[in-house]
Structure 1
Amino acid sequence: MSHIQYTLLRSNTYYYNRRVPRAARYIYGDFIRVALSTEQPQAEVLAGRLTDALNAAWSDTNHVMRLNIEAIISSHKPRLTKLSEFTSDYLSWKSITPTPVLLASRSLISLLGDRHVSEYSREDIKLFAQSLLQKGNRTGTVRRRLNCISAVLNYAYAELELDKRNPASRVLIRGEGADAMRRATFTSKQLELGYKEALASGSDVRLLFPLLGETGCRLAEITGLRIEDVCISSQVIHISPHSCRRLKTKGSERDLPLVGYALEAMELALKQADQSFLFPRYLKEDAIRATHASNALNRWVKQRFGGLTAHSLRHTMRDRLRAACTPLELIDQIGGWSSVNSIGSQYGEGYSLKMVRDYLEKVKIE
């Protein structure tokens, strides 16, 4: 017998079991018995909800209301409590790349367990940070993981209305920033050599090299391009979010002209594309696997250019634009970087496509 009001426990299942008052028996019969849940906390919530609804329906004996009891039970959504549950819920609301948040959450769960979000302490989070450092992660990576955990916990505490200090906020990391490595960049000669080899290779993977190098895009932005995002007649690509690939920031959505080697590479890539995506080989289970593309491209890039990576192309483009005296806001617009220097940069429509093309023409590799 269960101690929850109006319930019975039979074969590990809680049932709502209640005698119906005389005035309501012509609608509900003599008894109401319906399965609730195998979990006591959820059964308790459902029993209370059903009791309140029935009491209200039966309060006026002259006008008894007919309730759909099954609908009341099935419409109840169990309350989220665990970190894994709130991680998924948080990502369902946020239009962000899910991988960093998932990595952080799964790493914490593997170390400390999937607990109620209120149970993680400051010492737990410090242990998590120390564990990441011991595994060889740089302090910058550890900070990003902590920021992800902090964001999920902030969301969870707000949803649960918990008045609790976030244990992942403002955690000190010993030696933070001292291990940062400045990413090297390509020379113009290396870019020209790499572009020519990529175009002559017949490899769609290597075609990413000039597409990234001459647009400054993130690798996921290019590998996630749909055919509808490419207008070869106007020589423009549209970087926008879709169901198979999100964007890193709100400012990442943009139009970019194709100039020089990027235009040649795009024309070749279109010949190898399918009806929907520019790089269909990286579409798996309705998601773009940019990491797979990165691994494949970097095997060639690192060997060919002394350890440089595909992401170095993005840093190189920013240096090239600086050298051409490109306005800072225009540099940020081209690369889809967040402009943090002034509030004013967030206003207006930004630079025209013609101005973007003019500056990309200035820095293109001939």
Structure 2
Amino acid sequence: MPKFRQLPPYVSVTKTGIYRYRRTVPEPLRKHVGKREIKESLGKDYTTMLKKAAELEGLVTTLFSQKPNEGGNHQAIILNKMKEYGLRAQTVAAVAMGVDVKNKEEMGATNALGALIDDLANEPAEPLVPEELIRGLSEGQIPVTLESALDDYQARRIKANPRREKVTVTTIERHKTVLREALGKAMVNDKMLTRLRRIDARAVRDHMFNAGLAPSSVRRRLNDISAAVNEAIREYDLEMINPFHKLEVPNSQHRRDQRLPLDNDDMKLLAPIMDTDDDLGLIWQTMRDTGARLGEIVGLRCRDLDVANNFIAIRSYGDRGLKTSGSERDVPIPEDLTVGLQKLKGNHPDEPLFPRYDRVRGEDSCSQTLMKRLRKVIKDDKKAVDSLRHRFKDLLRDTDCPETLAREIMGHSDQSSAANYGRGSALKRKRKAMEKTWVRQEI
């Protein structure tokens, strides 16, 4: 196997070239999972392996997120028990989608479901699954709770970006803690999601404010929770309105003075320590000349640098996504920057252009190192690495670049629907607009 092909977590390769997933089941969960470890062959094809490993890791992470001492992940427990009772995959899927299996002409499946419900109802003094969820199951409804909605959301985020698994799990667990503190454990773990009301959402918001969180942090966390609830409503066809949708958070609106752009004097001070020939300097110069996000630059592969035509292709990869659908784009760069980046190109197109930061939390490490350099000369707290992107947007405005073209260049998510049709603006048109900013950068 080529050295540059990094393996996802818990994946190894045998001597015969077969990829294998292997992960130990935590001790408290072995009783419910029914095994000590989860093993799965992923075949020999690298691309297929990446897809299968991401899907499997998402499912396993969701399963491992249950906590038996807190009542457990009821959705995972019920689905596992359904499989134990020999219910056919179609029946499990039907229940998961909220279909009333009693109307199906599958008496064996229906009888097995009845036996399963009796089993769950006759658990010990403290059953693993609350009575309300068992009643829902008898009506053909998968027990969707606020907790399980967050678990599903977590699994999808990890599948989309496996590199940030640890950060994602920590973030979702923090959301659960806040929700339990604000609404009570039963409302989060045991009650059907459809029980949630607007008053509950306001209680969560007020709890965050009382805990001393800044308005922007409250808004960010509520957006996460709202997204999880939205996905659950969509995936399980729930008849409810998302109580977190457009919940007002006072003083959370973005203000222009929250982050200031770097000015010409700042750039002159930074030039001696930032315009260097090392990885960090070239990352800074690429951000400076393109307005691209740090993560987009750090994630570049060798194939993304077009030396002949002087541009970079910003693309998502299996384990590294982009912020928005509009972020995927081709961006011109100056010829001297192409020369500098070309020195970093490896022998294979799939190799990372900046291998030092091609790892878990690599983007964070790069950002911190850049900030250390920047703070040597820039002391204003409102100016940071991201101020370079703000500066570039201002330069485009100052050179009368059309707003639609500026959005395409910078990969903004708020591009008009019309801009998403066709091939977008030609590189020549983008270059003509960007060359004006490159001249102004030298003033």
Deviation at 1:181, TM superposition (A): 3.7
Structure 1: any 5+ residue segments left out of the alignment?
A: 1-11, 14-37, 57-77
Match of 2:366 among 293, 304, 311: 293
* CA 232–289 in structure 1, closer or farther in 2 if over 3 Å, else same: same
Q: Structure 2 CA distance, aligned partners of 1:178 and 1:107?
A: 24
| 2:407 maps to 1:332 | yes
Contact 1:185 1:315 in 2 (8 A): yes
Q: Structure 1 CA distance, aligned partners of 2:197 and 2:271?
A: 51
Q: Structure 2 CA distance, aligned partners of 1:178 and 1:204?
A: 32
Mapping of 1:39-188 within 5 angstroms?
42-43=80-81, 47=85, 49=87, 55=108, 82-91=148-157, 105-113=172-180, 115=189, 118=193, 122-134=198-210, 137-177=213-253, 181-188=257-264
Q: Structure 2 CA distance, aligned partners of 1:362 and 1:226?
A: 27
Kindly report the root-mean-square deviation, in angstroms, between the aligned alpha carbons of the 2 structures: 3.8
Deviations 1:77-132 (A, max 9, x none): x9775134211344378799978976753321122356256165545533443444
Deviation at 1:261, TM superposition (A): 6.1
Q: Structure 2 CA distance, aligned partners of 1:186 and 1:260?
A: 24
Greater CA deviation, 323-332 or 120-129? Answer: 120-129
Deviation at 1:241, TM superposition (A): 0.3
* CA 264–310 in structure 1, closer or farther in 2 if over 3 Å, else same: farther
Q: Structure 2 CA distance, aligned partners of 1:298 and 1:135?
A: 29
Identity of aligned residues (%): 26
Q: What is residue 199 of structure 1 aligned with on the other side? A: 275
Contact 1:87 1:152 in 2 (8 A): yes
Deviation at 1:262, TM superposition (A): 3.8
Deviation at 1:302, TM superposition (A): 2.8
| 2:429 maps to 1:355 | yes
Contact 2:164 2:361 in 1 (8 A): no
Q: Structure 1 CA distance, aligned partners of 2:430 and 2:254?
A: 36
Q: Structure 1 CA distance, aligned partners of 2:353 and 2:79?
A: 50
Greater CA deviation, 185-194 or 124-133? Answer: 124-133
* Alignment-mate amino acid for residue 250 of structure 2: R
Structure 2: any 5+ residue segments left out of the alignment?
A: 1-30, 33-75, 92-104, 110-141, 181-187
Q: What is residue 20 of structure 1 aligned with on the other side? A: none
Paired residue secondary structure (1:238): strand
Q: What is residue 22 of structure 2 aligned with on the other side? A: none
Q: Which structure's CA Rg is the greater one?
A: 1
* CA 226–97 in structure 1, closer or farther in 2 if over 3 Å, else same: same
If each structure's helix is expressed as a fraction of its own residues, which one has the higher value? Answer: 2
Paired residue secondary structure (2:248): coil
Contact 1:244 1:288 in 2 (8 A): no
Q: Structure 2 CA distance, aligned partners of 1:107 and 1:152?
A: 14
Number of residue pairs matched by the alignment: 306
Q: What is residue 420 of structure 2 aligned with on the other side? A: 346
